[in-house]
């Protein structure tokens, strides 16, 4: 009887530990107010994760500095207060990310994470897309052969845990690899003589092109979740703030480049592969946000199209 109670208590602790991230606590993921004097109650509440199998996934590797489960960088819900940063402020570079912050940690079912399975028997939310990419039989059902093929790809790309589950990180990595040679092969981003930041919501990648030449990227990104989607169409970068700070939740938004109201490109100090999207901004790793900062300037155009998968 005693051992049974201890076992139940251990399972309860495990569930509490691994279930907190997908919901993303409102205090950690809410939008940042533009005006410090604006009442907190006026801020929009975060949308819950979309229903479906993807919303039930958890990081397949235990929490650590590379994968904080309860923290995230919020986005602006309203346009920020625009001002000209001083030379001294712009001279300061945003703090570096903790080593391992952007590790490719796959999201897997809770049961697989708890049991530490070697090869998942479960059908992932990106099963068909992953099967198609690997040139397997596309039936949307996990098989032993599928698992072996997916696991081999995950090991090659250093995705952990490599258990053959077709999750969002595996899918995102495939999208990036496909886009690297010619991200605008489908010609969905308009070709102009001037620079355009192309934001592909379908594949969750972004790049900068001038004419037909890609001058930066493509790189992986995280766009807005259901209810807070990154707005499609033409936009213009109207304010750049290297050391932008969320006034509502007191969190950093490094290398922020605002292109539509409160929506901006900016870095996050956490995974960009979470199973729910941002609050509207285009989230990037610190290194990619820094590179994009050097590739764009105020007045440059941004073109957004598509639809974030799962939303």
Rounded distance, CA 44 to CA 300, Å? 29
As a whole number, the mean pLDDT across the chain is 81
- What is the pLDDT confidence band of residue 31, given thresholds at 50, 70 and 90? very low
Task: Report which of 181, 216, 222 is spatially closest to residue 200, judged by C-alpha positions.
Answer: 222
- Predicted pLDDT of residue 252: 81
Is residue 169 within 8 A of residue 273, CB to CB? The reply is: yes
- Predicted pLDDT of residue 85: 92
For the stretch 82-129, pLDDT in tens is 999 999 999 999 999 999 899 999 999 999 999 999 999 999 999 999
Task: Report which of 199, 181, 223, 196 is spatially closest to residue 309, judged by C-alpha positions.
Answer: 223
Tell me the average pLDDT across 245-250: 65
Q: Are strands 263-267 and 282-284 parallel, antiparallel or unpaired?
A: parallel
Rg of the chain in Å (alpha carbons): 20
Strand spans (E) along the chain:
57-59, 107-109, 195-200, 205-210, 213-220, 233-236, 239-245, 252-260, 263-267, 282-284, 301-305
Task: Report which of 171, 162, 161, 166 is spatially closest to residue 204, judged by C-alpha positions.
Answer: 171
Highest mean pLDDT among 16-25, 107-116, 232-241: 232-241
Rounded distance, CA 258 to CA 263, Å? 6
Sheet holding 252-260, edge to edge: 239-245, 252-260, 263-267, 282-284
- Predicted pLDDT of residue 301: 98
Tell me the average pLDDT across 226-254: 87
- Cα separation values, 305 from 167, 177, 251, 272, Å: 23, 20, 28, 19
Does residue 294 surpass a pLDDT of 80?
A: yes
Q: CA 61 from chain center: how many Å?
A: 17
Three-class DSSP category at 256: strand
For the stretch 125-178, pLDDT in tens is 999 999 999 999 999 999 999 999 999 999 999 999 999 999 999 999 999 999
- Cα separation values, 187 from 174, 193, 219, 297, Å: 19, 15, 17, 24
């Amino acid at each position: 009887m005693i051992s049974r109670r201890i076992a139940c208590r251990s399972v309860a602790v495990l569930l509490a530990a691994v279930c907190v991230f997908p919901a993303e606590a409102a205090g950690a993921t809410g939008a940042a107010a533009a005006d410090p004097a604006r009442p907190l109650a006026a801020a929009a509440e975060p949308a819950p994760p979309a229903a479906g199998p993807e919303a039930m996934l958890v990081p397949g590797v235990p929490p650590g500095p590379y994968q904080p489960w309860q923290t995230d960088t919020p986005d602006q819900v309203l346009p920020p207060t625009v001002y000209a940063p001083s030379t001294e402020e712009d001279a300061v570079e945003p703090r570096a990310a903790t080593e391992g912050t952007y590790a490719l940690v796959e999201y897997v079912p809770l049961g697989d994470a708890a049991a530490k399975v070697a090869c998942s028997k479960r059908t992932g939310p990106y099963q068909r897309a992953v099967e198609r990419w690997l040139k397997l039989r596309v039936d949307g059902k996990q098989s032993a052969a599928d698992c072996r093929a997916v696991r081999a790809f995950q090991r090659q790309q250093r995705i952990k845990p490599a258990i053959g589950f077709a999750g969002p990180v595996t899918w995102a990595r495939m999208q990036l690899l496909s886009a690297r040679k010619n991200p605008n092969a489908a010609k969905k981003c308009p070709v102009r003589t001037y620079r355009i930041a192309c934001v592909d919501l379908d594949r969750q990648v972004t790049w900068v092109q001038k004419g037909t030449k890609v001058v930066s990227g493509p790189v992986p990104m995280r766009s807005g979740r259901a209810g807070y989607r990154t707005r499609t169409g033409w936009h213009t970068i109207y304010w750049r703030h290297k050391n932008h700070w969320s006034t509502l939740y007191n969190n950093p938004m490094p290398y922020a480049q605002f292109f539509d109201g409160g929506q901006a490109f900016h870095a996050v100090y956490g995974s960009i592969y979470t199973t729910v999207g941002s609050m509207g901004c285009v989230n990037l790793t610190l290194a990619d946000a820094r590179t994009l900062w050097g590739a764009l300037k105020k007045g440059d155009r941004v073109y957004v199209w598509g639809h974030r998968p799962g939303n």
